[in-house]
Structure 1
Amino acid sequence: MTDSARIAVLFGLSLPAVGCALFAVQPPTPASHISPAELAALEPQPGVRHYLIVFGSDKPSRNPAYTHTWATLVTTTDVPGGPPRVGEETISWLPVEMPIQALSRKTVPGRNYGLHETMRAMLDTKQDVALWGPYEVWHRFAYRFRVQKSFMESGAVGYQCIDSWGEAGRTGAGCDCIHSITDMDPEISRVGYPLFLYGQPASARLVRRVMNSPAPIDPLTTHDWLLPQLALKQYPIDVCTYRGPVAGHCRR
């Protein structure tokens, strides 16, 4: 058995023993506690739209040290007489010192990596990268995403690959890549994002959750014109199509 396969097996065996998402301490992100009144007071900015892209990467070996989930919020602003201005903000939570120590019970310093920095890191380690989207999302989701990103970059939390055990599970001082995004969810706890799904399967689970939340506008429509605007066409990325259920949503 190769080292990668051995780590993947040990990782899989460890997850039931963790048992633990129910009892683990979660980092105190304010993003999941934004009040309905605060959200209702947010008015959309004229000429501004928001889009979500979810990414996942892994290797055929399923070695958890070489898997990742990250997400990018894209904002476009209308410009009179010209194409819209395009900007992006990414949540991509990884340890400062790579590679990932998948079975570690200790929290280590974490850092939020940029979109292209993440792409290069995943491809440099021969991971297969997939994306879902871009999906248009409401301005209130964009606000929640930014609150979560600010929290992750505040220095309040470190990185731990399995964050439901060890130091992170006891203290809430660590977070993995998946929960760095899903912890903003005000309705579904970490139990709804089980860690036996990691890499691309975890990202697909996240997309399914988004599609069954109030976040997207016309959820089955993707806005592929944004991919070259973000310089993503230069990378070998598998663009996935979501084919699962969706909640009722209104169109813009």
Structure 2
Amino acid sequence: MAAKELNVEEKLRALYDLQLIDSRIDEIRNVRGELPLEVEDLEDEVAGLSTRLDKFKSDLESIEDQIKAKKVSIEEHKEAIKKYTSQQKEVRNNREFNSLSKEIEFQELEIQLAEKHIREMKASIEHKKEVIAQSKEKLEAKSTHLKHKKSELDAIMSETEKEEKFLTEKSAEYQAQIEDRLLSAYNRIRGSVRNGLAIVSIERGASAGSFFTIPPQTQMEIASRKKIITDEHSGRILVDNALAQEEREKMEQLFAKI
């Protein structure tokens, strides 16, 4: 829907009202600050720790299965040694005896190697158990921290959600009244200044928040409300103090209804 055609004074009032509403929204969001990002980062960290813990547990199960397999192979090698030892009693010559001795020696070496692997794997299990305990402790601490931060964020959201929704809708209403060119300028200025103030009043001969004095002639032009004038130093749109005061009072009544 096309914006209603406003005269210059009405445009200035609509812009200043929009600024007051948007500044109020900024204040609400500043109260939340970095909290939503903190919660998001903590959620990612908790998820990462949980995944890491699951992997360690899976690794433990895998190592334990490997130990079982090694123990089975040791028993198989022992059975083979018994078989070869028994066969040695029935051999007819040294060549067969020596051949069986080599087989026995090979089986014994395999048992030693398997036992060495089992010792290494048991040491790995102990190390992983320590890491799992540390990871569990860290996960519990992070989960508790996340719970507190989420609770804090939920409390702020419940306090401010209704007000922010109302103000966001009002901001959209006021934006719809302002022509696109002017609204684009307002948004551009708002995005380029630290405090988000695109339109400010004149206070004690200077634009609010500035030390640069505005010439009396320019002040008179601003007070006449016949054209839109920007501050040559900050680029902000300027309004006279009387208009600003009237609109502040009007917006305070609106905010009081929330």
TM-score normalised over the length of structure 2 = 0.22
Per chain length, whose mean CA-contact separation is higher, i.e. which structure has more relative contact order (CA < 8 Å, sep 6+)?
2
TM-score normalised over the length of structure 1 = 0.22
Bigger Rg, structure 1 or 2: 2
Higher share in strand? 1
Higher share in helix? 2
